Amino acid sequence: MKKTKVTFNAVKLDYSCELMRALAHPLRLQILQFIDSQGNVNVNKIYNSLKIEQSVTSQHLSILRLAGVIFTEKNGKYVHCHINYECVDRAQIAVANFLGKSKKSA
């Protein structure tokens, strides 16, 4: 039997793990869906609309931001969030490739 050498780029693998971890939580997916439906939304509206504690919302948004899934910008006393669609698209393509599917069928 022929052995195949498997190598991984540790930095890319670490990032991929963090990205998948960020996207694998039901509440974070709910938050992303809300941001997607609103476009550019402030944090107060997220936790008030989804009826989530402010601290819990902040923790989940922090994970999404550190993974590069969302961007935040401060405007006065408000923090606004919007989705990094390029990052989400890359994650969707990577998962589809892993599962052996094209993006269109994912």
What is the residue-averaged pLDDT of the chain? 89
Is residue 3 over pLDDT 90?
no
Mean pLDDT over 24-33 rounds to 96
Mean pLDDT over 7-26 rounds to 87
Q: What is the pLDDT of residue 106?
A: 47
Spell out the residues 6+ positions from residue 11 whose beta carbon is closer than 8 angstroms to its own. Answer: none
Mean pLDDT over 8-36 rounds to 90
Neighbours of 14 (CB within 10 A): 11
2.40.110.10, 1.10.10.10, 1.20.210.10, 3.30.1540.10: CATH of 15-105: 1.10.10.10
Q: In the block, which residue shows the tokens 């408000």?
A: 78
Mean pLDDT over 72-76 rounds to 92
